[in-house]
Copies of this chain bind each other. A is one copy, B any other.
């Protein structure tokens, strides 16, 4: 299941949505298969008919949602873009919009990123690696190095930029946790992204 995106039955969709939500809210360990089947309105048996274990469910879901997420990013991203800040701004924007539409998806992915449960940690890492290899890093490997000031270690500068926006995203997540989706002030956040962008440009660029 999931392998070839043939999620076309109503029941499959319900499982995916339910599992995404329950895992997003509870993390791997605390999420109970009982809660998932209840949320999905299905029987215990059918869950284990589709996925042979909770672990497999989680990992399949992770792979499916990562793929889907990457796809969405790519289909809206200008792959010719070589300015790192433009790339990050665009990705942030897309993430935002996806968060409004599919908050569970984004929450699931964010949580999975730091998941510590030993049953799935290695599996997540493997999927992450294969994804990153095949596609993600590409975004950053194509960066236009000539824009950076002389004497700057571009690779490390990119790392700093990445960590900055990762840190910012985490900070927002914590803030947002208690709000409803509607209450998030998108304009304010974008403004903050801009000021970090300005600061980093001023410091790293020619």
Q: Tell me the A residues contacting B by CB distance below 8 Å.
A: 27, 29-30, 111, 114, 116-117, 149, 151-153, 156-157, 159-160, 162-164, 166-168, 195-196, 199-200, 202-204
Contacts and interface: CB of A to CB of B under 8 A. Distances in A.
Closest 8 pairs between A and B when the two form their complex, measured CB to CB: A163-B167, A203-B203, A160-B164, A163-B163, A163-B164, A156-B199, A27-B116, A29-B29
Chain A interface, >50% SS class? helix
B153 A162 contact: no
A196 B29 contact: no
Nearest to A153: B199
A166 B169 CA distance: 14
A139 to B, nearest CB: 18
A159 B151 CA distance: 23
Nearest to A152: B199
A30 B153 CA distance: 42
Nearest to A196: B156
B163 A199 contact: no
B163 A202 contact: no
A160 B196 contact: yes
Nearest to A114: B114
B30 A199 contact: no
Contact of A151 (B114, B151, B156, B202): B202
Contacts of A199: 152-153, 156-157, 160
Nearest to A121: B177
10 contacts: A30-B117, A111-B116, A114-B114, A149-B203, A151-B202, A156-B196, A163-B166, A163-B168, A167-B167, A203-B203
B167 A200 contact: no
Contacts of A157: 199, 203
Contacts of A166: 163, 167
A160 B197 CA distance: 11
A160 B195 CA distance: 12
